[in-house]
Structure 1
Amino acid sequence: MKILFSNYHHYLNTNSRNSLIYKNLTQLFKRRLFLPVCVLIGTVALVSGCSEKTSEHQKKYSILVMSKEHVQYVIQTDTLDGGTIDPIKTGASVLSPKRIWFYMMVKNGNYFYINRKTDYFVRNRIIDNQFTPIDSLHLPDMRDLENYNWYHPDSLLIISYPGKMKSPLYARINTTTMTATTGVLQLPIPYAPFNNMTVGFSEFSKDKLWVGYTYHKSSPEGYGSSDTVYVANLNYPSMSLNKVFKDSRSTYPGSVNTSEETAFRDEKNDFYYLSCPGFARGGNPQQSTAIYRIKAGENEPDSSYFFNISASSIANHAYGMWYIGNNKAIVRSERKELFKTFEDHYMKPHMEFYEVDLTTKAVHKLALPLDKGTSRTCVLSENGLVYISVNSDTEGNYIWVYNPKTKSLKKGLKLEGDVDYIFRLEKLYN
């Protein structure tokens, strides 16, 4: 993948009020948002000529794609059920950062990410069809984002591992005021032979915080994970550690939720999470992919619940899981006979989608084309329907519409043009 360079475009909405212009400019400088000097100069020159654009119609969905030239584009739309769009021709290009598809967070029309070069948490919007930075917050050593959790409409928890055999760091961010409380997550540090660790999920429960994690070892000889799922129970808001629960039936609970969802709560407020020991995540493929549960109001994981995905008719490792209601979830799994290398895993179509029943553990394969891309935010459930983006080399790039009641599938929105991957499919406002 070729290197992409920064090309920020800046815009300020004046609302015909000079006081707001200068207030916005002052806030940008105070927050030390990293913009090229030439862009800031251009901003001042353009302020008097800007029209009111932020009052334009708010779209419902956001789709992030990558072209075959390895350029990312964001396009917003009101419908997923049909029609055609060309994100390359009509979308907003995202020239930096180059891997934003792996760690972008979408909320209320905003696009958030960590600038890994500067340690700034940046808020963007699409303005005049430009991916536009409008605010930022400095979060030192938080560049390697592993997990995020919207626990209130404007409150975001992010967790990052700083390396150097330390415990993970956290930041609780108010995304309206762009202020944060930061600290160290009091988890046991990596131990030999492991030299790093990842936090796969976080979930608030009244005055407690559940955190799933595991340890990894990486060297020139290869990569692998411990053979254990670790689940920590912490006090909130003190973030002090209560207890760590261990389960050696699998490893890597939650995986990387910035790129692919793996945990949720159901209607009864029970919390489910997927473990990801497979080749592309945990590097421990001899263990089983499984779904675990923490029942509502309980103070420990439900040791009696273990949905062994690898031992089911899926018979493979999975990396994504999305709740669709009525005790059902969509699981995205690999076909191990169709790839050999990690590059194959990313490039070759070999991923399948299954509907699983969390209660009966029944499995239903969806009749979709083979999908490609190891990490994708690709399932969205709304109004009784499930929208699934599929990158198919044979049938094109579509948002498919699945009806769980009738078990029917149909093609919805078509993404035309030079699209290689549909990386993210998300609601803009939720």
Structure 2
Amino acid sequence: MNSRSKRSLFFLLIALSGLFGCREKSLISGEEGQHKYSIYILGKDGKEYLLETNQLDSGRLTPDRDGAELNTREMDRSVMVKNGYYYYLNRKKTSLIKYAIKEHQLQEIQSMPLAQFSIENYQWLGGDTLLLTGLANPDFKQVRYTMIQTNAMKPIRAGNMEIPVPTGRFDNMSVGFVKRQGAQLLLGYTYHQQIGVSNYTTSDTTYITTLNYPEMTAVKTVKDTRSTYPGGVNTVQTSAFQDAQGDFYFMDCPGIALGNRPELSTAIMRINKNSTVADPHYFFNLSSAIGNHAYGMWSVGADKAIVRAERKDLFKGLGDHYSTPHFEFYLVDVKNNQVLQKLALPLDKGTRRECVLLKDNIAYISVNSSSEGNYIWKYDLKTAALTKGMQLAGNTDFILRIDKLR
């Protein structure tokens, strides 16, 4: 190659570099604080990052260049995202803190004291009112709540919920879902038994208590022994939703990664509109339909949902459950108890993740693939077409969550 050719190639590479650089920059450009989506990344070196972007359809981002590196003493993935802000319970500071990304850094905006509280569930009750439901620590026996006006980060009211505390061999509990039903709240939960330093088991029963709202006094409690571990900690992964007709669907998750009662069935259950008990005639047995346990469920409209199910033949136990690619995604019809399609996606890794968003009949699904890389895939609900969207590259090891910022 002569010197003129080399020089031409040199400038061509510079031009292409600039073109692709602008293309990637356009994903995160725009007025700060006005981005549409956030992506939470765990890096290969153990560092964690938050990235904000205007779209998920294409392009390539790297967390160390395009994101804000997080101080993991300040925040982890159990974060609540709304209207451009991030809300996180900092236990060391015993405060609920409201953050925003500014100048590629996570910056504290406001805070309010919140001590001896472990969040199990959050619900936006309209406007800027946030209801947090959780357990009093350090013993995790008493169900507590706090209601917050997030614009001012001021408590509205707080106290105990009238939920029976664990007794006998069951020494702790978990709250799986909270649903407002007019002047009442429905709370789904179960009880656990610690049987070793890193081992536990779960009651065979799903409990649903109806509470007067906002007094939080008990009206009644019903038991359902068809499965156990309703929902999950929804700051980490979604497992319940209300459809357009007002019916409420929740997943019971007895697999080893949550309930540790793998002999029971993962199932979708339903509380009909204006009812306070699980429909005794409805039980969508996912374990039977798919052949495996599942741990997450996201509504995609029109009586359909995407569920994330493990492949029990591909992992050895809890020790490699998070790191081994063995998760599959299915489209299901919750109204008619049908598995419609196994999505032709690479095997995913990461035990629990917030990994599905819906926009304009496109389901965006983040997948951590050891063979194909870390991508946000696009699933067209009208045509069933699957295509790759944005790639999370560079230092990315896991996409832990994707969220709508506004």
Q: TM-score surpassing 0.5?
A: yes
Q: Which residue of 1 aligns with 2:90?
A: 115
Where does residue 330 of structure 1 map in the other structure? 306
Change (3 A) 1:55 1:335: closer
AA at the equivalent of 1:188 = P
Aligned counterpart, 2:248: 271
Alignment of 1:204-353 (within 5 A): 204-220=180-196, 222-312=199-289, 314-353=290-329
Structure 2 residue identity aligned to 1:150: W
**Two-structure CA RMSD over aligned residues (Å):** 1.4
Aligned equivalents of 2:75 and 2:225: distance in 1? Answer: 33
> Which piece of structure 1 moves more, 369-378 or 79-88?
79-88
How far has the Cα of 1:99 moved from its partner?
Answer: 6.2
Matches within 5 A, 1:356-375: 356-363=332-339, 364-375=341-352
Q: Decide whether the 8 Å contact of 1:84 with 1:415 is kept in 2.
A: yes
Q: 2:378 aligns with which of 393, 401, 414?
A: 401
Offset of residue 57 of structure 1: 6.0
In structure 1, give the amino acid aligned to 2:39.
I
Closer, same or farther in 2 for the Cα pair 1:200/1:279, shift >3 Å? same
Deviation per CA, 1:303-352, whole angstroms, max 9, x where unpaired?
Answer: 1111010011x111111000000000000011111112212111111011
Conserved 8 A contact 1:159-1:168: yes
Q: 2:49: which partner in 1?
A: 73
Q: Distance in 2 between matches of 1:245 and 1:392?
A: 42
Task: State the shift of 1:220 in Å.
Answer: 2.1
Report the alpha carbon displacement of residue 134 of structure 1 after superposing the two structures with TM.
Answer: 1.5
What SS class does the counterpart of residue 238 from structure 1 fall into?
Answer: coil
Gaps of 5+ in 1: 1-53
Q: Distance in 2 between matches of 1:427 and 1:386?
A: 13
Q: Give the C-alpha shift of residue 362 in structure 1.
A: 1.8
**For residue 63 of structure 2, what is the aligned residue in structure 1?**
87
Find the aligned partners of 2:202 and 2:140 in 1 and give their Cα distance.
15
Q: Report the CA distance between 1:55 and its aligned residue.
A: 6.0
| TM-fit CA distance, 1:105 | 0.3
**Distance in 1 between the 2:187 and 2:291 partners?**
28
Matched, 1:418 2:395: yes
Decide which of 127, 130, 135 is 2:110's aligned counterpart. 135
Contact conserved, 1:165 with 1:190, CA < 8 A, in 2?
no
Distance in 1 (alpha carbons) for counterparts of 2:83 and 2:324: 34
**Offset, 1:169:** 1.0
C-alpha contact 1:165 1:189 (8 A) present in aligned 2: no
| Cα distance in 2 for residues equivalent to 1:123 and 1:291 | 34
Partner residue in 2 for 1:158: 132
1:345-369: CA deviations, max 9, x gaps?
1111101100000122221100000
How far apart, in 1, do the equivalents of 2:275 and 2:201 lie?
Answer: 32
Higher strand share: 2
1:33 alignment partner in structure 2: none
Give % identity.
Answer: 46
The Cα of 1:98 is off from its aligned counterpart by 6.8
For the 8 Å contact 2:91–2:115, the answer to whether it is kept is no
Question: Which residue of structure 2 lines up, in the alignment, with residue 48 of structure 1?
Answer: none
Q: Unpaired segments of 5 or more residues in structure 2?
A: 1-29
